[in-house]
A and B are shown apart, each in its own frame.
Chain A
Amino acid sequence: MTETEGKTALLLLGCPQVPVQTSVAIHLCDQLRERGVTPVIAGTGSARKLIEVADPKRRYIGEILDLDDCIDAIAEKQRDFDYAYVFIHNDGGVSYAGTLSAISRARLVGIVYGEHADETAALITFPCEVVATKATHNPMPIVVKLGRVLP
């Protein structure tokens, strides 16, 4: 049994405006499962639909939660995770990561992407590991960096 076996990870998806989010999230689910970590996805309605359609038999993804319901459950101390990966491409994503930094005990990672990734990453002024790349359509630059923040 590995050190990460039985642990849980939250993947918090924001607005799916930037194409790489869905494929990187599914890839991350696979990598987490390889390590015995159970992934749980929370996201906006559109982000959730994109994920569910891309993995209809749920070979990689697992439980999927509404974004606000997930925040409520963590804030009310009804639920928490060992790891939290927040997908960030705008100011709103930074705000959700900031919220998790305050309400969750998870190891927090911000996956920052999009054309303004560097400027967006600079808004992260709270404790949070960050991987940032300007990827918008090609997920590979993010995938390469994900290795640094996997359990």
Chain B
Amino acid sequence: MSCIEQLEYEILLQGASFKESGEYIKKHFSEWFEVEPGYRLFDAHLIGVPPVVLGVEGEDVIFPYVKPCRGTFLLRAKGPEEIAKLRARKKKR
């Protein structure tokens, strides 16, 4: 997942569990999507417990990023193309 580490991102949550990260997205963002683990986002396969929740706000995607030793980080990064892909899936709530 090094490609995600090369993005310009903001850390919204650190030290939360994977489940709490998904709940945070649903609580704080009006547009969110559920995808399967392994979904390709920013050229990386997402790690997580199904379903993986992704948020959208403006041109930003909010997504969990799991590191084996350090747990889940909730990141926010610009991704208009990723948002278009998510909306095209039409699997919103």
Interface residues of chain A, those whose CB is within 8 Å of chain B, are 14-15, 17, 44, 67-68, 71-72, 74-75, 90-96, 98-99, 101-103, 123, 125-126
Contact = CB atoms under 8 A, between A and B. Distances in A.
Contacts of A94: 18, 49
Interface stretch (B53-61, B67-75, B83-91): B67-75
A123 B49 CA distance: 9
A96 B69 CA distance: 12
B38 A91 contact: no
A101 B48 CA distance: 10
Q: How big is the B interface, by class?
A: 20 to 34
B38 A99 contact: yes
Given A91-B18, A102-B38, A14 B68 contact: yes
B45 to A, nearest CB: 4
B66 interface: yes
Contacts, number: 72
B36 interface: yes
B16 to A, nearest CB: 9
B71 to A, nearest CB: 5
B7 interface: no
Contacts of A15: 68-69
Given A99-B38, A102-B37, A103-B37, A91 B50 contact: no
A44 B66 CA distance: 13
Given A98-B49, A102-B50, A92 B67 contact: yes
B47 interface: yes
Contact of B68 (A67, A98, A102, A126): A67
Contacts of A102: 36-38, 50
Contacts of B68: 14-15, 44, 67, 92-93, 96
